[in-house]
């Protein structure tokens, strides 16, 4: 992770982005997801983009959804739609 190796505590980072230490800790430790505003604030504080953090959250959400549904089967499968010009 970025914070600890750079000597930045969760409390200090939370204050910098305007969120509670509890919420930031929950996000960092995977107990809570974050929204676009949180992503924007993290991006601004770390000099990265909102899109980077939204992409990471999306990838995490997709991973969790795939794991949760790995044994699930749909009642019916449909062929992909044909491309139209």
| pTM beyond 0.85 | no
Per residue in 9-44, pLDDT tens? 999 999 999 999 999 999 999 899 999 999 999 999
Q: Which domains does the chain have, with CATH numbers?
A: 4-68 (1.10.260.40)
Q: Which residues of 23-56 are buried (b: 16+ CB within 10 A; e: fewer)?
A: ebbebbeeeeebeeebbbbbbeebeeebeebbee
pLDDT given at position 1: 63
Q: Report the pLDDT averaged over residues 56-81.
A: 95
3-state DSSP assignment of residue 68: helix
């Amino acid at each position: 992770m970025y914070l600890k190796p750079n000597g930045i505590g969760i409390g200090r980072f939370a204050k910098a982005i305007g969120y509670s230490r509890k919420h930031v800790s929950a996000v960092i430790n995977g107990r809570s997801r974050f929204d676009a505003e949180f992503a924007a604030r993290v991006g601004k504080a770390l000099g990265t983009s909102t899109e980077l953090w939204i992409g990471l959250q999306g990838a995490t959400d997709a991973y969790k959804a795939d794991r949760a549904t790995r044994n699930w089967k749909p009642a019916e499968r449909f062929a992909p739609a044909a491309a139209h010009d």
